[in-house]
Amino acid sequence: MKKRHEQKLVILSMLMLLLLNIPLLLLFDSSEPILGFPIVYIYIFSAWFFSIAISFLIIKKYYE
């Protein structure tokens, strides 16, 4: 894997660190459920899913 693609994964990791930081999580902490799930759970699992999908695409596309 080239250095450029490793840098993309590092940037993705730093973005996830920011997205899952407690001040940002508290923005989504409300008592209103969507489809029976708290909004903070939907936020956490969707951010987690998209990070896995993006890292999979980076590794799959640029793996040499």
Q: Return the domain boundaries, the chain.
A: 3-21+36-62
Task: Using the predicted structure, report yes or no on whether residue 64 has a pLDDT greater than 70.
Answer: no
Q: What residues contact residue 23 under an 8 Å CB cut-off, 6+ apart?
A: none
Residue 2 · residue 62 · CB < 8 Å: yes
Residue 5 · residue 62 · CB < 8 Å: yes
Predicted structure pTM score:
0.81
- pLDDT at residue number 4: 80
For 33-54, letters b (16+ CB in 10 Å) and e give eeeeeeeeeebeeebeeebeee
Tens of pLDDT, residue by residue over 3-60, are 788 899 999 999 999 999 999 999 988 888 999 999 999 999 999 999 999 999 988 8
Which residue in the block uniquely carries the two structure tokens 């040499």? 64
